[in-house]
Amino acid sequence: MRLGIGILGWNRPYYLIETLRALRDNDLTDCDAHLFQDGAVCRVTGAVRAEARDIEADVAVFRAMLPGGTIHQHEQRVGIAENRLAQLGYLSEHYDLWLALEDDVVVSSQYVALMRNLLEDWAGRDNVGAFSSPLWAEQAVQERLGYHVSERPNGPVSVLATRTPWFAPVLDRFRQYCEVIRPYEYRDGWPEYQTAVRQLFGGQNIVVSSDGTLIWAFQASGRRLWGVVSTRAITLGRDGTHMTPEIYQRVGYAAGVVHQHPEELAVPFVDATPL
Amino acid sequence: MKALVTGSAGFIGGHLCDRLRVHGYTPVGYDLRDGDDVMDGERLIARARGCDAIFDCAGVLGTAETFADLERTVDVNIRGTLRVLEVASALRIPLVYLSLKQTWHNPYMITKRAATEFCQMYGEYHGLPVVVIRGLNAYGPGQHWGRVRKVVPTFIVQALQGEPLVVYGSGEQAADFVYVSDMAEVMVRALERACWGHVFDCGTGISTSVNELAGLVIELAGGSSRLQYARMRQGEPQESAQVAETAPMRDLLGFVPDVPLREGMAATVAWYRAHWRETEVAA
């Protein structure tokens, strides 16, 4: 069965190179890669939010490093939420098994095969929304629970693996959110944006970012976000919101090491939640 | 697994730490910025204990700049590497040494060459598992500019500011520009494949003139800078053509740097557009 891989792209080609390098180290047989590339000029305000040349660089890097891939280019800047909706919607429409990554995620060289195994092993389960990967895990935990999965209520959504039937109710909720925020820009329309999203959440005080809302969408649709216990992906971000030097300083660099064990592909997955 | 990286706060050392984490290694940083001096043997051995590998990326850099800093260049680049070799040898830890392909007559390159010879001596006569990577012109996000003139960040910053790009000599000197994480990948693979005793060139094998590089940078930065020619600097030859021999990397490491120059440079320009002020080192 073909597996779709969708990557969100904006204006950080220097991270995208590393995301693609890591993907390329995987066996990509029966996989299709897609770049969902945001634009430079905000569709709501008309403000320039990125250098057009940096957007072009993103596209050029993708073309050079994964020449068989497909580019889905927005004419204008639609923002992370709308771009993510395009990514999740397209993958749901065209694939049964798929992976959704952000542009600064670096996965292990067994990640694609591991996720394929996991999605196939757990196909009969009805309580799954998607699998995430912790962006860091304590070394001791990695060693003890290396091959296991566990429910991660707040797992990062920057790297997801799922099946379309699992994800369908989550996507419905996320689409609701995108419809609510469509008239606003996240940056300049913040107060209106925040009010509209809080109304969608029924007044709950939930993080209203695209990441926070996706986590809410899992919870609201009764689908669980599971994760492999040890780190199969890290974010490189020396800037942005992921693993900045400050965060690494706090959690320790040792935590941000990719768990690379080719032999794990032969080991069955175990639900480690009770542990 | 742990790997000690000397010069870990430097351009290549920093990217190497990222690459090591992707390969499943915990990098242990060792950099003068944090008070970790390669000349300090006791400190070095204490930090190296428990590590599974050492990557030696520390050094005093610069071509023309090192003439005025000869003693320190010799101390750090030769005696410092000898300290690293002694520690690696005492603890029986494999060593990956970052050297240079160029053989110009300036203190930087002379000392790196000498240190390379010492690495081979330790391999031959002390049985140390050591591999040498002779890097060509590494470029990418995060390379410092200002005090030591590195051609890529200097050109990019000049172009982003709309200033003339200063080219020394005719600009027809040919170089091999290799994306920094490609170089880091080569270094990690050389360790993982246990290529002891080997000396690898690390580059793309593709020749690009300084004039071509300048034109590309101006195009990607989107400015209207022009080229300004100046006399060749001390320690850099009028004519040079250095490219990597890629066959050994392909045959023994299964990898040849392949981020194309245009795309790698576009990514690098994008990074400097957002961050160039952070990487200036005052003279």
Given a cut of 90, is residue A59 above it in pLDDT? Answer: yes
pLDDT in tens, A125-177: 888 899 888 665 555 555 555 566 776 655 678 899 999 999 999 999 999 99
Q: Does B25 touch chain A (CB under 8 A)?
A: yes
Cross-chain CB nearest to B25 (options A12, A18, A257)? A257
| pLDDT, greater one: A241 or A112 | A112
Pairing state between β A97-101 and A159-163: antiparallel
Within 13 A of B53's CA, how many CA atoms are on the CB side? 29
Nearest chain A residue to B15 by CA distance is A236
| pLDDT, greater one: A258 or B158 | B158
Terminal Cα distance for chain B, rounded: 38
Cross-chain CB nearest to A17 (options B29, B181, B273)? B181
Q: So what's the pLDDT on residue A153? A: 59
Q: Does B23 touch chain A (CB under 8 A)?
A: yes
Contact A259 B24 (CB under 8 A): yes
Q: ipTM, 2 decimals?
A: 0.92
Amino acid B89 reads: S
Nearest Cα neighbor of B193 from B252, B238, B121 is: B252
Domains of chain A: 3-266 (3.90.550.10)
Domains of chain B: 2-281 (3.40.50.720)
Nearest chain B residue to A107 by CA distance is B22
Q: Grade residue A275 by pLDDT with cuts at 50, 70 and 90.
A: very low
> Which residues have CB under 8 Å from A141's CB, separation 6+?
A229, A230
| pLDDT, greater one: B58 or A275 | B58
pLDDT in tens, A69-126: 999 999 999 999 999 999 999 999 999 999 999 998 999 998 999 899 889 988 888 8
| pLDDT, greater one: A267 or B124 | B124
Contact A234 B25 (CB under 8 A): no
Identify the segments of chain B with pLDDT beneath 70: 282-283
A16, A26, A108, A257: best to mutate for the B interface, most B CBs within 10 A:
A257
Could you give the dihedral angle defined by the CA atoms of residues B213, B216, B218 and B220, in that order, rounded to the nearest 10 degrees? -140
* Contact call for residues A44 and A189 (beta carbons, < 8 A): yes
CA distances from B239 to B175, B214, B232 (A): 11, 17, 10
pTM of the model: 0.93
pLDDT in tens, B161-204: 999 999 999 999 999 999 999 999 999 999 999 999 999 999 99
* Token code pair at residue B186: 């080569």
Q: Grade residue A225 by pLDDT with cuts at 50, 70 and 90.
A: confident
Q: So what's the pLDDT on residue B265? A: 98
Please tell me the distance in Å from A108's CA to the nearest CA on chain B. 7
